């Protein structure tokens, strides 16, 4: 598997308040990678490290085949970035902001920028300072997409936007991925909105990558089981046991990697499954966070 982004033993800290500890991250080439985690998990810090905006204390970062931050000029020339906070001069008009941004990118596609202006219903003469939050979000997405990047990095791009604007922005991302066959890293704490566009998931909590797996596996392989008569010691299991809680005679297990036929394993150790509960993406997200904090 070719990787667009890879980190190895990445470390960074902000005093005692926050620490990334030996972060190993793998974003496949041409994937849409959902970088999920609660607020304060370290998603923005990790993104800034990937883009050379922060220098790691230890570890290795490779983006689009080049080491970072050593190759930041080459990498950023091929990367579109929508940061968590707007980065456009408020005194400029939309047309002036586009003209300024386009001067920095040899790959700038003015025809597509014009199409996105119409698609997002943005008025060229409007000043950035007068735009609503949703209109600002659309402008930032336009500036990132029109440079035709190989890698698109989006940090909470739809946070605080209304459902219609979120839909428009995510539709533009999907159109871009289909047209360019590029890689997208999109961070969010809004799990449900990424379910339909991502094919990989990385779950970050407290500076640790709790899980990293294909979206389909994340959606289909995480189950809640109600189990009876399970021994205290399980030995080697065909699935990953994330948590185990006893309620009287019945235990509740949270497992990852569950597949049909694994009931045979439980039968072999003298246990039985009373119920297998499917979790939606948001429930799986919450349960994995909760189980990682218990361990």
| Distance (Å, whole) CA 78 – CA 2 | 17
Distances (CA, A) of 102 to 12, 77, 95, 109, 110: 33, 12, 11, 8, 8
Predicted confidence at residue 220, as pLDDT, reads 76
- At residue 17, does pLDDT exceed 80? no
Per-residue pLDDT tens over the stretch 166-219: 888 888 888 888 888 899 999 987 777 788 789 999 999 989 998 898 988 887
Least confident of 94-103, 127-136, 233-242, 285-294: 285-294
The mean pLDDT value for 250-255 works out to: 90
- Higher-pLDDT residue of 263 and 283 is 263
180 near 27, Cβ under 8 Å? no
Mean pLDDT of 226-239: 88
**8 A C-beta contact, residue 250 and residue 209:** no
pLDDT value of residue 197: 87
Q: What is the pLDDT of residue 212?
A: 93
Radius of gyration of the chain (CA): 22
Q: Using alpha carbons only, what angle is made at residue 182 by residues 177 and 74, rounded to the nearest 5 degrees?
A: 145
Domain positions in the chain = 3-206, 217-294
What is the distance between the alpha carbons of residues 209 and 212, in angstroms, rounded to a whole number? 7
| Residue 104 CB-density burial (10 A; 0-12 exposed, 13-18 middle, 19+ buried) | exposed
Beta-carbon neighbour count of residue 229 at 10 Å?
Answer: 12
pLDDT of residue 285: 78
* Class of CATH domain 3-206: alpha beta
Q: Tell whether the model's pLDDT for residue 295 goes beyond 60.
A: no
pLDDT at 40 over 90: no
CB 45 within 8 A of CB 18: yes
Report the chain's mean pLDDT, rounded to a whole number.
Answer: 90
Residue 143 confidence (pLDDT) above 90: yes
Query: Residue 195's closest CA among 74, 11, 36, 80?
Result: 36
Q: What is the pLDDT of residue 232?
A: 86
Q: What is the pLDDT of residue 81?
A: 96
Q: What is the share, in percent, of the chain residues with pLDDT greater than 70?
A: 98
pLDDT, greater one: 289 or 170: 170
Tell me the β-bridge partners of 266. none
Cα end-to-end distance, the chain, whole Å? 31
What is the per-residue pLDDT for 189? 76
Asked whether residue 37 carries a pLDDT value surpassing 60, the answer given is yes
pLDDT, position 151: 97
Mean pLDDT across the stretch 116-139?
95
Name the pLDDT band for 294 (thresholds 50, 70, 90): low
- Between 65 and 239, the more confident residue is 65
Pick the CATH number of 217-294 from 3.40.50, 3.30.70, 1.10.287, 2.30.30: 3.30.70
Hey, CA dihedral for 46, 90, 168, 148, is it positive or negative? negative
User: In which band, very low, low, confident or very high, does the pLDDT at 64 lie, cut at 50, 70 and 90?
Assistant: very high
Say if CB 109 and CB 40 are below 8 A apart: no
pLDDT band at 249 (very low <50, low <70, confident <90, very high): confident
SS3 track for the chain: CCEEEEEEEEEEEECCCEEEEEEEEEEECCCEEEEECCCCCCHHHHHHHHCCCCCCCEEEEEECCEEECCCHHHHHHCEEEECCCCCCCCCCEHHHHHHHHHCCCCCCCHHHHHHHHHHCCCCCCCEHHHCCHHHHHHHHHHHHHCCCCCEEEEECCCCCCCHHHHHHHHHHHHHHHHHHCCEEEEEECCHHHHCCCCCEEEEEECCEEEEEEEHHHHHHHEEEEEEECCCCCCCCCCCEEEEEEEECCEEEEEEECCCCCCHHHHHHCCCEEEEEEECCHHHHHHHHHHHHHHC
């Amino acid at each position: 598997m070719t990787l667009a982004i890879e980190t190895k033993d990445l470390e960074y800290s902000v005093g005692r308040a926050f620490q990334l500890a030996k972060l190993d991250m793998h974003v496949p080439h041409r994937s849409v990678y959902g970088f999920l985690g609660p607020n304060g998990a370290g998603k923005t810090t990790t993104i800034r490290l990937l883009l050379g905006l922060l220098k790691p204390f230890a570890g290795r970062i490779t983006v689009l085949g080049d080491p970072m931050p050593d190759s930041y000029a080459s990498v950023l020339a091929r990367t579109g970035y929508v940061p968590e906070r707007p980065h456009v001069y408020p005194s400029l008009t939309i047309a002036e902001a586009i003209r300024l941004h386009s001067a920095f990118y040899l790959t700038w596609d003015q025809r597509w920028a014009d199409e996105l202006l119409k698609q997002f219903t943005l008025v060229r003469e409007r000043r950035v300072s007068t735009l609503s939050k949703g209109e600002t979000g659309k402008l930032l997405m336009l500036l990132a997409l029109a440079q035709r990047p190989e890698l698109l990095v989006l940090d909470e791009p739809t946070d605080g936007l209304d459902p219609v604007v979120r839909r428009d922005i995510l539709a533009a991302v999907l159109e871009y991925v289909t047209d360019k066959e590029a890689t997208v890293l999109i961070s969010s704490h809004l799990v449900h909105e990424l379910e339909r566009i991502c094919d990989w998931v990385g779950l970050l909590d407290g500076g640790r990558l709790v899980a990293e797996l294909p979206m389909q596996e994340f959606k289909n392989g995480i189950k809640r089981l109600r189990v009876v008569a399970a021994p205290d010691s399980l030995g080697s299991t065909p699935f990953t046991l994330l948590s185990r809680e006893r309620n009287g005679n019945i235990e509740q297990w949270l497992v990852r990697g569950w597949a049909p036929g694994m009931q045979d394993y439980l039968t072999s150790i003298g246990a039985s499954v009373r119920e297998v509960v499917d979790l939606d993406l948001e429930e799986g997200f919450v349960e994995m966070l909760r189980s990682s904090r218990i361990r």
